[in-house]
Structures are given as C-alpha cells and as structure tokens.
C-alpha cells in the first residue's frame, strides 16, 4: 500500500506539516546503533522449548558464541563461566522476519524491540542501500533490526510510489524495462519490486497510471536474468493472475476480493509465494485490528506515542468493508491449503500498523486464516529466509546468526504467546528493552465558548486575499490558509478570497501527484497546527455552494503533528446548502487534539470553485 508518513525532526512550518501529513514520504537515514550493558555475545539458554523454524524440540540447550549459534541439543557442553538463561516454561524462536515494511526513522529500532530482527523494505531510499548491506553483514552490537530493501520500485510516471514528495525513477510507457531493472540493481536493490496498481480496487472513480503487462513481464525477466527476485504489488485478482503468469517470484499483497481456483493453481504451479499483509487490509476494512493490538497489555508498555497513534489510524473516512478482510483471509486459506508458501508481512508504515508490534497481529491473522501456529511461525522465520535467500537467519541451527526471541508460554500451540516477550537477542547480544518514556499527550488548548468559526462578514484583522502561505484571520483560532499538493511535489493551485460575505476558494487540480489536493484549511487553536480541545463539541456545520464537484473535509488531529487525517465527503451544488458532519463520524479522530480542518478538492483533474459560509463547530 505504501501510504506512509515521513518522520520529521525540527518543527515544521504549518503548510509543510500539512503536506507531510497528507502526502508523506518513506525515506530517511537509519537510526544509529548504540550499546547495552551486556559484556559479550555469548550465552547458554537452558532447558527451553525450541521452535527451530520447522519443528518443535523440547528441553533443549542452545549455545551461542561470538554472535552465532554453535550447538543445540539435550546435552550441550559449555564453558563454566558463560552467561546462562533459564528457559523453563519458555519457547525460543528464531528472530522474526517481517517480509513487507516501509522503513524510515526509528523503524528498525521499533521492530527489534518487539522481536522482529529482520525487515524487508518494499520501497525506500536507494541511497541507504550500501550502509544497510554493511550493517547487516556485521555481528557487532546494534539496537536496529537488519534491513533488506527493494530501493526504488518499478512504477509508472504519476503511479503508485511517486506520491511521497521525493523524485523517484519511473518507467515511461514503452520504455525498456530491462534497462530500468539493471539500473535499480546497480544502485544496490536487493530484489526488484514491481507495482501494478491503478487504484480501481480502492475507488470507483479515481484512477492512477500503472505499468503495462508487457512491462511487468519484461521487468521480471530482467530481474531473473540478473539472478534477482522479482516481487509484485497487486490489489486485484486480475493483476495477481497476470503477475504470476508472467513469472513473478511472489506477490507482496493479497487482494481483498474473491480469488479463484485457477489463480491458486497457477500460484502453486509456478511456485510463487504470497505476502498477504493482512494487517493493512484490516485497516482498509475498518476492522480495528491495529487499535486492539495496541491495547494488548503484553505489548502496550513498549509502544512509543507515534506507534500508538499509528495503530489507531485509518485510511480517511471510508465506510467499513468487512468483505475486504474476509476475502483476503479466504484467499490465504485456499493458497495455503494448496501448498503455496505464505510469508508474514505487515506493510508497517501504513495506517493501522506499527513496526515490530504489527507482526504479532499478523501472526494471529494468519492463524485465523487457516495456518497452524507452527506454520504461522514458519511464515515469519524460515519460509521468508528461504524464499528471499537470507541464508544466515530464520532458523535455530549451528552456524547461523544468533537472532533469537524468548517468550513465556508456548506460541506453537497458542500464537498470541509471541506477545509475552522475555528476551530478544541480536547478533548474540541481549537487546535492552526499556519501556519508552511516553508522557501523556497534553489535551489541546481550550476553545472559547463561541461556536462560530467564521461568517466572513467584514474585514477580520486583515486583507481579503491570502497570498502564497498567507493567512486569513477567523473569529476564533489561527485563521485560514490555502493548501495544495505543491508541498509534496504536485502542481495543483488555489486562490482563497474573502468576498461577498463568504470564503471563495478556486483553483485547479493538476497532474503531477498521485493523490492531488487543493483547498483551504482552518486552524482552531491560536497557532497553526497546534492542538485544540474539541471533545465537548459534536458537529461541524457550514454552508456551501459551487460547481457540483465532490469535495472533502479533512480533520487533522492527534498527539503527532503528522498524523493521518480523517475525511468526510461533501458536494458543493449550485445553490447554497447546509452540511452537517458529526465530529464522531471522522473515523479515528482525536477530538481532544484537533489541529486543522481542510476543505479540499481532489480528483478528477481540472478547475474547481466553491464557497463556504457560516462555519461552526457546535
């Protein structure tokens, strides 16, 4: 899905913050390694139940020396002075592998805290690739999970993967896919990710460009000609069938629509694997799986504020679509029953997910889709290691890297026992797992008793027009500001004018951004994008007229300035009409910390105009 947020450091100007929150990017430097208090990467884990990646072994001794597993068995000779860990009543697992993430900022550190020792990035900054390769080849102490990455994906101009405010390579219509793939591998991509996505699975009206079936087949052949894996992003059965028939090694999403026996047979025949990413499909279905995971007392204390917010987030204000998750889970059940390899991957970085913790939810979803607990654990360890050629991990065996997770209980019988994490080892070193010092997020500033935001009568503290970055004052809050996708590299334009007792907004949605927007934004607090407490308010009310287009109100809220907005649609017809939107109808909104309301146009491209008046938050 790759609809992710860019981590930011220093405070941003309000318009930039808005752009980041809407359009976002998955590119930044990895976090730096730091030591803990362990003296060495040697340990003996005694009397422990072991899931070795394929089978369960009781009452085992596992010896680690210099960051590698050197022996496993019921009787293991070890130096008398080696550090020992009592494994009675516990299960030792290979470090978990998340086979679909989008990693930036603290993602690798967040992952490791929850026992995910390896992540496979499916779209990221190719400039990081040399440093990632060096880091994962080392057995040094680290606080980061290892990361493999596709780097830049194979996508069309204006296609999925181009919308994150950073210039990325694109495969032009009719261009040589072989040369494009060769360039990605020269940059250091560990595998090739191909994006087949026209957005038809997500919208009845919105479409974005995608590459052709001929280019898909050529890209797969080019990757295979250079001994690289080729995996494909799909959202539709038809595209999954085309990719598998074209020789794809695997699909990195499961489509949320009914599959069929022909597709299952083709996947089995061609030995393709599937990474279902049920976690993010659950978000699209509005199933609330992320929120429930974040509330689990076994996991919650190790969440950062940003992770907790991400797990509660959703994709706008779409209505619940339970069939999306149900169909995807049925497809997984059918594929697994046919013997198709299933790999656990979360698409962490998207709403409703968070690095590390979401793997524990994904394992549960896989079991609910027909895998046994042992098979689900294999899907997160030995199976991705085998399919992605990660030869030094994914199993507990002599000679392999000592990336290990010790949990209380027996997840080979009850999969949710993976959440009872006792110890994580990376390269044989014990990982310190301090609980993040998360201060309670302050409630936003109190709102005045008045409910009228603006009736646009008279000159309220300024001129009638807002120039680039300009602000029009309102009766309460920080006022109105124009906003467009130009902050994320788009080309849409807008003009905002206070005239004739209304706010007139006009402009043009232009090509240049996959998810364009343009419009006007209101900040309810005294400073732009600061939180305001609207928990005692129940309804947004305004009058509108315009050109008959569909528009959206986006509500920005939460402890983090860059949280994903929630959206509700409205129509601006030719005559004045009143729009009333219950605030609790904005899915996932934090009404104690509301940062902005944006009134925006989106697709289709072209000119737009609307006027709003008598805006109230009652």
Kindly report, residue by residue over 439-477, the tens digit of the pLDDT.
Answer: 556 688 888 888 999 999 875 444 445 444 568 999 999
pLDDT for residue 22: 41
pLDDT for residue 27: 35
pLDDT for residue 439: 53
Distance CA 111, CA 355 (A): 5
pLDDT-based confidence at residue 11 (cuts at 50, 70, 90): very low
Residues 6+ apart with CB under 8 A from 311: 290, 291, 293, 294, 303, 352, 353, 354, 357, 358
Q: How far lies 510's CA from each of 46, 262, 515, in Å?
A: 64, 41, 10
Is 268 inside any structural domain? yes
Domain containing residue 127: CATH number? 3.20.20.140
> How many CB atoms are located within 10 Å of the residue 464 CB?
12
Instruction: Give per-residue pLDDT as tens, 76-111.
Output: 998 988 999 999 999 999 999 999 999 988 999 999
Q: What is the number of alpha carbons within 13 Å of residue 436 lying toward its C-beta?
A: 18
pLDDT-based confidence at residue 7 (cuts at 50, 70, 90): very low
Indicate if 458 and 384 belong to the same structural domain.
no
Domain containing residue 447: CATH number? 2.60.120.430
pLDDT for residue 465: 53
Indicate if 506 and 589 belong to the same structural domain.
yes
Distance CA 467, CA 489 (A): 19
User: Residue 249: is its pLDDT beyond 90?
Assistant: yes
Task: Mark which of 392, 408, 430 sits at the end of a domain.
Answer: 392
Is 338 inside any structural domain? yes
Indicate if 375 and 515 belong to the same structural domain.
no
pLDDT-based confidence at residue 316 (cuts at 50, 70, 90): low
Residues 6+ apart with CB under 8 A from 536: 447
Is 288 inside any structural domain? yes
Is 340 inside any structural domain? yes
Of 267, 207, 270, the closest CA to residue 240 belongs to 267
User: Residue 165: is its pLDDT beyond 80?
Assistant: no
For the purposes of burial, counting CB atoms within 10 Å of the CB of 122, is it exposed (0-12), middle (13-18) or buried (19 or more)?
A: buried
Task: Mark which of 376, 392, 408 sits at the end of a domain.
Answer: 392
pLDDT for residue 513: 72
Which range is least confidently modeled, 50-64, 145-159, 430-444, 499-513? 430-444
Average pLDDT, the chain: 89
Per the CB < 8 A criterion, the answer to whether 53 and 396 are in contact is yes
Instruction: Give per-residue pLDDT as tens, 520-534.
Output: 999 999 999 999 999
Residues spanned by the domain of 506: 14-25+441-617
Indicate if 384 and 488 belong to the same structural domain.
no
Q: Whole-prediction pTM value?
A: 0.80
Question: Residue 516: phi, psi to the nearest 5?
Answer: -70, 155
φ/ψ region of 261 (left if φ > 0, alpha if ψ in -120 to 50, else beta) reads alpha
Task: Mark which of 362, 377, 392 sits at the end of a domain.
Answer: 392
Indicate if 380 and 445 belong to the same structural domain.
no
Instruction: Give per-residue pLDDT as tens, 481-538.
Output: 999 988 777 889 999 999 889 999 999 999 877 678 999 999 999 999 999 999 999 9
DSSP β-ladder status, 68-73 and 577-582: unpaired
pLDDT for residue 317: 57
User: Residue 306: is its pLDDT beyond 90?
Assistant: no
Distance CA 454, CA 470 (A): 17
Indicate if 350 and 445 belong to the same structural domain.
no
Pick the more confident residue, 150 or 603. 150
User: Residue 350: is its pLDDT beyond 50?
Assistant: yes
The total of structural domains in the chain comes to 2
* Positive or negative torsion for Cα 278, 279, 282, 287: positive
Indicate if 356 and 452 belong to the same structural domain.
no
Of 365, 362, 423, 411, the closest CA to residue 117 belongs to 423
Q: What stretches of 248-403 adopt beta strand conformation (E)? A: 250-251, 273-274
> How many CB atoms are located within 10 Å of the residue 162 CB?
24
Instruction: Give per-residue pLDDT as tens, 192-228.
Output: 999 999 988 888 777 889 999 999 999 999 999 999 9
């Amino acid at each position: 899905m790759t609809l992710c947020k860019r981590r930011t450091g220093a405070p941003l100007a309000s318009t930039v913050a808005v752009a980041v929150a809407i359009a976002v990017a998955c590119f930044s430097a990895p976090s730096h390694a730091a030591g803990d208090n362990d003296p060495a990467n040697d340990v003996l884990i005694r009397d422990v139940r072991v899931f070795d990646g394929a089978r369960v072994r009781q009452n085992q001794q596992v010896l680690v020396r210099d960051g590698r597993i050197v022996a496993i068995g019921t009787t293991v000779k070890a130096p008398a002075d080696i550090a020992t860990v009592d494994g009675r009543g516990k299960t030792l697992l290979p470090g978990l592998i998340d086979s679909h993430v989008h990693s930036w900022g603290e993602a690798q550190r967040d992952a490791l805290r929850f026992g995910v020792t390896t992540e496979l990035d499916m779209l990221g900054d190719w400039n990081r690739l040399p440093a990632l390769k060096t880091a994962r080849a080392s057995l040094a102490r680290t606080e980061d999970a290892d990361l493999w990455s596709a780097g830049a994906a194979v996508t069309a101009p204006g296609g999925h993967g181009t919308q994150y405010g950073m210039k990325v390579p694109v495969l032009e219509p009719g261009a040589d896919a072989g040369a494009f793939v060769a360039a990605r591998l020269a940059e250091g991509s560990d595998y090739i990710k191909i994006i087949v996505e026209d957005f038809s699975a997500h919208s009845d009206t919105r479409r974005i460009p995608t590459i052709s079936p001929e280019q898909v087949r050529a890209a797969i052949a080019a990757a295979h000609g250079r001994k690289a894996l080729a995996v494909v992003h799909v959202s539709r059965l038809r595209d999954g069938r085309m990719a598998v028939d074209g020789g794809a090694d695997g699909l990195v999403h499961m489509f949320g629509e009914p599959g069929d026996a022909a597709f299952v047979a083709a996947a089995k025949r061609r030995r393709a694997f599937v990474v279902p990413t049920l976690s993010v499909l659950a978000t699209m279905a509005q199933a609330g799986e992320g929120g429930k995971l974040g509330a689990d007392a076994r996991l919650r204390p190790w969440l950062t504020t940003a992770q907790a917010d991400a797990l509660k987030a959703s994709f706008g204000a779409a209505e619940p679509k339970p069939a999306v998750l149900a169909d995807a889970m049925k497809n997984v059940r059918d594929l697994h029953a046919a013997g198709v390899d299933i790999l656990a991957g979360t698409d962490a970085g998207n709403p409703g997910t968070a690095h590390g913790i979401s793997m524990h939810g994904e394992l549960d979803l896989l079991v609910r889709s027909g895998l046994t607990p042992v098979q689900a654990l294999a899907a997160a360890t030995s199976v991705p290691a085998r399919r992605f050629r990660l030869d030094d991990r994914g199993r507990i065996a002599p000679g392999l890297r000592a990336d290990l997770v010790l949990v209380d209980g027996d997840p080979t019988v009850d999969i949710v026992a993976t959440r009872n994490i006792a110890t994580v080892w990376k390269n044989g070193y014990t990982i310190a797992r301090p609980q993040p010092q998360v201060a309670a997020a302050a409630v936003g500033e109190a709102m005045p008793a008045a409910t009228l935001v603006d009736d646009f009568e008279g000159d309220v503290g300024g001129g009638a027009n807002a120039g680039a970055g300009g602000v029009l004052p309102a009766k309460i809050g920080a006022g109105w500001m124009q906003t467009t996708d130009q902050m994320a590299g788009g080309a849409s334009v807008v003009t905002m004018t206070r005239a004739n007792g209304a706010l007139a907004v006009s402009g043009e949605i232009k090509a240049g951004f996959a998810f364009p927007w343009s419009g006007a934004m209101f900040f309810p607090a005294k400073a732009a994008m600061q939180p305001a407490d609207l928990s005692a308010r129940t309804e947004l009310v305004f009058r509108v007229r315009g050109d008959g287009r569909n528009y959206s109100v986006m509500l920005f809220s939460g402890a983090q300035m860059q949280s994903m907005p929630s959206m509700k649609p409205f129509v601006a017809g030719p005559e004045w009409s009143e729009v009333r939107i219950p605030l609790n109808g904005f899915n996932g909104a934090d009404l104690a910390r509301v940062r902005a309301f944006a009134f925006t146009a989106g697709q289709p491209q072209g000119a737009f105009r609307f006027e709003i008046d008598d805006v109230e938050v009652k």
